[in-house]
Amino acid sequence: MYLNPITLLLAGLCAGLLIVLLITLLRRPAPGVATSGGAEAQLSQLAGQIQQLASHQAQTQATTQTVLAERLQVQERALMTALDERLASLSHRVSDRLQESTTLTGQTLADLRERLAAIDAAQKTITDLSSQVVDLQNVLSNKQARGAFGEIQLQDIVQSALPASHYEFQAALGDGKRVDCLLKLPNPPGSIAVDAKFPLEAYRALRDARDEAATTLAKRDFTLAIRNHMKAIAEKYIVPGETAESALMFLPSEAVYAELHANFPGLVEEAGRLRVWIVSPTTLMATLTTIRAVLKDVRMREQAHILQAKIGDLVKDVDRLDDRVGKLQKHFEQGAEDVRQIRISTEKIVRRGGEITELELEAPVEAPALAPSPSLLPEG
C-alpha cells in the first residue's frame, strides 16, 4: 500500500513527542519533593528542543509539500500528455473504423439495391407469368379455345420443321371435310392428315381422383375420349386414293401423352390397328424431321436425271480438255526437240570457236637462196 510522505513525517513527529513526554514523566520528582533548578533548566531546554523540532518539522513539511506539489504537476502533465496521445490514437482508430464501416455500409447498400432490383424484376416476371398462367387456364377451360390452342401449337411446330410447299392448314379433302393440317408428301406414302385433340377434362379428372372408384371412372372416361378421337380421325382423315393409309393424332400436352403410353398401352395398340399414330410436340418434331429428310431424298431422286445430264456434259468437257492438253503437249515436245537441235548447233559452234582460239600462229620462215639450175641457164 502506498503511504504519503507527509503522513509518515507526521507519524514520526508524534512518536518523537511521545518519547519526550515519557522521558519527562519518568524524570519528574515525586509529589512533595521540591524541584531543583537543574530540572527546570532541563525542561526549558527540552521545550526549546521541541520548539526547534516543531519548527524543523514545519519547514520539512513545507519543503515536502512543495516537492510533492511539483511532482504532482509533473505527473499530471505526463498523465495529460499520455491521455492526449491515447485519445488521439483512439480517435484515429475510431475514425478508421467509422470510415471502414461507412465503406462497408455503402457496399452493402449497393448490393442490397441490386438485389432488390433483381427481386423486383423477378417479382415482375412472376407476376407476368402468373397472368399468363391465368390466361392459359382460361384458354384451356374453354373447349373451343383449347382446340385453337392445340391448332396454333401444331402450326408452330410444322412451320418450323417443313418448307411451306409441303403442308397446308385447314386443308379440304375430297369429301368436303377439313383437317387441321395436311402434310403433302409424294407417293408413297402420300399426304398425311394431322388432327389436334386435347382431352384435358378427362385427364384432369384422372389426375384429381382420390379413391379407387373415382380412379376407375376417370380411366373409363379417359379411354372413351381417346378412343372416340382415334375413330373419328380414322373415319374422316384416311381417304383412300387421296391421303396416306395412316393419320396422326396430335396431343398438345406431353403429360397427357406420357399418361397414355404409361398406363393405357391397350389404347396405343388400338390406335396402331386403326392406323392412327398418336404424337406429342416432341415426337411430332422428330417425325417431321424424318419427313424432311425423306423429302430431301425425293428431291434428289427427281433431280437425278438432270444431275446425270450435267455429269455427261462435264465428262465431254473433260475429254475435250484432255484432247487439247495432248495437242499442247505435242507442241511442247516439238518445241523441246527444236530447242535440243539448236543446243547441238550452238555446242558445235562453241567447240569450233574454242579450237580456233587455241591455234598458235608463228612468224613465217625465210627459205635459203638456191643456185639456178643448169638446165635453166641460157646456153652459150
pLDDT at 33: 46
C-alpha cell at 104: 462497408
Q: Helix axis angle, 265-273 relative to 254-263, nearest 10°? A: 100
> By the 8 A CB rule, do 241 and 191 touch?
no
Q: Is residue 32 predicted with pLDDT exceeding 70?
A: no
**What's the rounded Cα separation, in Å, for the pair 12 and 16?**
6
Q: Which SS3 state, helix, strand or coil, does residue 276 take?
A: strand
- Cell match 519527562: residue? 24
Kindly report which listed range (3-7, 111-115, 140-144, 162-166) carries the lowest average pLDDT score: 140-144
The pLDDT value given to residue 177: 83
Q: Are 139 and 145 in contact (CB under 8 A)?
A: yes
> What are the start-end ranges of the H helices in 30-166?
37-141, 143-161
Looking at the DSSP bridge assignments, the partners of residue 248 are 194, 277
E strand or H helix at 21: helix 5-27
Instruction: Please check whether residue 233 is in contact with residue 245, taking contact to mean a CB–CB distance below 8 angstroms.
Output: no
pLDDT tens track for 317-372: 888 888 888 888 888 888 888 888 888 888 888 888 877 887 755 555 554 554 44
Q: What is the mean pLDDT of the chain?
A: 78
pLDDT of amino acid 7? 65
More confident residue, 47 or 134: 47
Tell me 4's DSSP state. Answer: -
The angle formed by the CA atoms of residues 44, 46 and 47, to the nearest 5 degrees, is 65
Which of 186, 192, 218 minimizes the C-alpha distance to 279?
A: 192
373 has a pLDDT exceeding 70: no
- How far apart (Å, rounded) are the C-alpha atoms in residues 144 and 266? 28
> Is the distance from CB of 188 to CB of 241 less than 8 angstroms?
no
Cβ atoms of 260 and 226 within 8 Å: the answer is yes
Query: Is the pLDDT assigned to residue 150 strictly greater than 80?
Result: no
pLDDT average, residue stretch 193-211:
82
The DSSP call for residue 368 is P
Least confident of 49-53, 74-78, 348-352: 49-53
Q: Count CB-CB contacts under 10 A for residue 162.
A: 19
Is the pLDDT higher at 372 or at 234? 234
Better-scored residue on pLDDT, 303 or 361: 303
Query: Measured between alpha carbons, how far is 141 from 276 in angstroms, rounded to an integer?
Result: 27
* Torsions phi, psi for 239 (to 5 deg): -110, 115
For residue 364, the model assigns a pLDDT of: 53
Q: What is the pLDDT of residue 39?
A: 64
pLDDT digits (tens, 9 = 90+) for 78-136: 888 888 888 888 888 888 888 888 888 888 888 888 888 888 888 878 877 765 554 44
Residue-wise pLDDT for 164-191, tens only, equals 888 888 888 877 788 888 888 877 778 8
Which is nearest to 228 in space by CA: 249, 258, 213, 210?
Answer: 249
Average pLDDT (291-313) is: 78
Q: What is the pLDDT of residue 74?
A: 87
- What pLDDT, in 10s, does the model give residues 246-296? 888 888 888 888 888 888 888 889 888 889 888 888 888 888 888 888 778
Say if residue 188 is exposed, middle or buried (CB neighbours under 10 Å; 0-12, 13-18, 19+): exposed
Could you tell me which residues come within 8 angstroms of residue 127 by beta carbon, excluding any fewer than 6 positions away? none
Q: How far apart are CA 270 and CA 267, in angstroms?
A: 5
Determine contact, residues 195/179, Cβ cutoff 8 Å.
Answer: yes
116/178 Cα distance (integer angstroms): 54
More confident residue, 369 or 4: 4
- 292 Cβ neighbours under 8 A, 6+ residues apart: 161, 162
Q: How far are the Cα atoms of 5, 9, 52, 63, 67 from residue 60, in angstroms, in the given order?
A: 11, 9, 12, 5, 10
C-alpha cell at position 231: 375413330
Pure H helices in 174-303 = 200-208, 212-237, 254-263, 265-273, 281-302
Beta strand pairing call for 247-250 and 276-279: parallel
Higher pLDDT, 249 or 6: 249
